[in-house]
Amino acid sequence: MTINSPTATVPFSIAAMPVIASRTVAVIGAGAAGLAAARELVLQGHSVVVYERDTRLGGTWAYTPESESNLMGLDPMRQIVQSSLYASLRTNLPREVMGFRAFPFSASQKPGRDARRFPGHAEVLEYLKDFADEFGLRDLVRFGCEVCHVRMMEDHKWMVRSRKRNEFGDSREDDKVYDAVVVCNGHYTEPRIAEIPGIDEWPGKQIHSHNYRVPEPYRNQIVVLIGSAASANDISRDIAEVAKEVHIASRSVQIEELGKLSGHENIWLHSMISYVCKDGTVAFEDGKEVFADVILHCTGYKYHFPFLETNGVVTVDDNRVGPLYKHIFPPALAPWISFVGLPWKVVPFPMFEYQCKWLAGVLSGQIPLPTINEMMADVEGFYSSMEASGIAKRFTHRVGDLQFEYNDWLAGQSGSPPTEEWRKPMYLVASRKKRSAPETYRDEWEDEDLISLAHLDFEKYISNVKISL
C-alpha cells in the first residue's frame, strides 16, 4: 500500500455502473467481520468467496499458544501469528451486548460451554462457529489461503491473488477476478511500539502484548508494562500472580493514583517512562526508578494492508486509513472496495453487522451512495472537525461514545431497525462498572432489568426464525 502519497490520483475513471442484482465479491478474512460480511452479501444475492489465511475461522478469536519469533513484531519477514489473545482472556463486555443482532449471544446449553456472562475467549470462538453454521457460511471460506495481492484492473474489476501452502510447505498461487473486494483482515497483528529514549542500550527483554500468552515466563521478574487499555489491565494482573513486581506506565494515570495499586501488593502505577539506561534502570516521569527485567508494550496496533495496491488512492498515514467515507468506502473507488471493522473503542460485532448491511445493499444497487464529490466533502469535513478539536490523526477511527449514533446512521441507510433500547445503557453500565470495580465487574453486575429486556428481544428473534423456517 502507498503510504503518505499526497499527489496520488485515480488512475482511471470509475464510471457509473448499471444496477446488477448479483456481484462477485471477495471477502478477505473469516473473523467476525468477514463472517458478517459474507452473511449480508449472500442475503443480497451476491456470489461470495471468503479468503482465510488460517486453517480455521474466527480471526483474532482463534487462540493459539504460539507466539511470533520476533516478540516485538518489528521484523517484516517474521511468520505472523494472527491471534493476539492471551490464555486467561475474558470478554470485557457482557455477552448480550457483544452478539450480532441476527444471532443473539445467549448462554449455550451444549456440554462444555462457558455460560458466564463475561465468557472466556474460547466461548466467543464457539459462538462465531455457531454463527457460521447457522447461516451456512463455512462452505464460502477458502481456508489456508493467504491473500498476497489485490489490485485494481482497468475494467473496474479487482484481481485477487492468493497463496495456499500444502502440508510440505510448498505454495501455489491463484489469481481470481471479482467485481468487488471487502477488506476484513482485522487490525490486531501489526504492533505499535512506544518510543523510549535510551532503549537501544537497555539490556532487558522487550515484548509486545500481541505475543503475550501466559504469565509463567515472568516468574520472579520485575516487569514494566506500558498501557492503560483493557489488555494492559488484564495482563498486569495476570503477570502479578507470578512476577516479583509489576510497574504500569500510563499517560492517563492521575497524580492521586500514583503508587501501589489498591488491593495488590506488587503492582504500582506510574506516569509514562521518561528514559531507560544501559544498567537496566527504567525512569518514569513521576521521578520513580526501577531496575526491570522486561518491558511489555500494551500499546495497540497499526492498520496494515500489505496486499493492497490502489495506486495511492487509499493510504495509511499515522494510522488514518483514508480517505474513507464513514470509515468504509474510499470515495473514488466506491463501492468496489470497502473496509469493515476499522473503528475501535466500540462494541465490534453489531457494528460489523450494520456496516455490512449497508455495503451489501450498495453493491446490489438497492442503496445509492452520494457522488464522489459529496463523499469527499464529508470526509474532509470530518478531518477538519477533528483538527479543530485538537484530535490527533491517529484517532481518526476511534469512535467511542459516538458508536451507537454511527450504528443508527448505518441502520437508517440500509432500512434496518436502530440499536435496541437496552444495548447502549447495558454497555454504559458495564463500562462504568469496569472503571469503578476492575477486579470484580465481570462477575458482579447491577443491570438485571436490562438483561430481561435483552432476552425478550432474543425470544422474538428465535420466534421469527422458526416462523421463517
At 151, the pLDDT band (50, 70, 90 cuts) reads very high
Share of the chain above pLDDT 70, in %: 94
At 42, the pLDDT band (50, 70, 90 cuts) reads very high
Asked if 65 contacts 213 with a C-beta cutoff of 8 angstroms, the reply is: yes
Query: What is the structure's pLDDT at 465?
Result: 56
Q: Where are the alpha helices (DSSP H) in 44-153?
A: 95-98, 121-134
C-alpha cell at 1: 500500500
Q: Tell whether the model's pLDDT for residue 11 goes beyond 60.
A: no
Lowest mean pLDDT among 101-115, 159-173, 228-242, 392-406: 159-173
The three-state DSSP-derived secondary structure of 169-228 is CCEEEEEEEECEEEECCCCCCCECCCCCCCCCCCCCEEEEHHHCCCCHHHCCCEEEEECC
In the structure, how many helices (H) and strands (E) does the chain have?
A: 9, 20
Query: What is the structure's pLDDT at 1?
Result: 38
313-to-5, 308, 337 alpha-carbon distances in Å:
8, 11, 11
Which residues lie across from 284 on neighbouring strands? 273
Judge whether 24-190+301-423 and 205-297 match in fold. Answer: yes
- The residue assigned the cell 452520494 is 370
Query: What is the structure's pLDDT at 16?
Result: 41
Q: What is the mean pLDDT of the chain?
A: 92
Pick the CATH number of 24-190+301-423 from 1.10.3720.10, 3.50.50.60, 3.40.50.720, 3.90.180.10: 3.50.50.60
Lowest mean pLDDT among 8-22, 273-287, 371-385: 8-22
- CATH code: domain 205-297 is 3.50.50.60
Mean pLDDT for the stretch of residues 38-57: 97
The ranges assigned to domains in the chain are 24-190+301-423, 205-297
Predicted TM-score (pTM) of the model is 0.92
Contact residues for 321 (Cβ-Cβ < 8 A; gap 6+): 303, 305, 314, 315, 339, 342, 396, 397
Q: Tell whether the model's pLDDT for residue 315 goes beyond 50.
A: yes
225 φ, ψ (degrees, to nearest 5): -115, 130
Mean pLDDT for the stretch of residues 118-136: 98
At 132, the pLDDT band (50, 70, 90 cuts) reads very high
At 76, the pLDDT band (50, 70, 90 cuts) reads confident
Contact residues for 333 (Cβ-Cβ < 8 A; gap 6+): 10, 14, 152, 310, 313, 314
Mean pLDDT for the stretch of residues 268-288: 96
Tell me: the pLDDT tens digits for 91-100? 999 999 999 9
For 413-434, give the DSSP string: HHT-----TTHHHHHHHHHHHH
Q: Tell whether the model's pLDDT for residue 462 goes beyond 90.
A: no
CA dihedral 414, 418, 424, 426 (to 10 degrees): -110
Please state, in angstroms and rounded to a whole number, the distance separating the CA atoms of residues 226 and 224.
Answer: 7
Q: How many residues does this entry show for the chain?
A: 469
Query: What is the structure's pLDDT at 186?
Result: 92
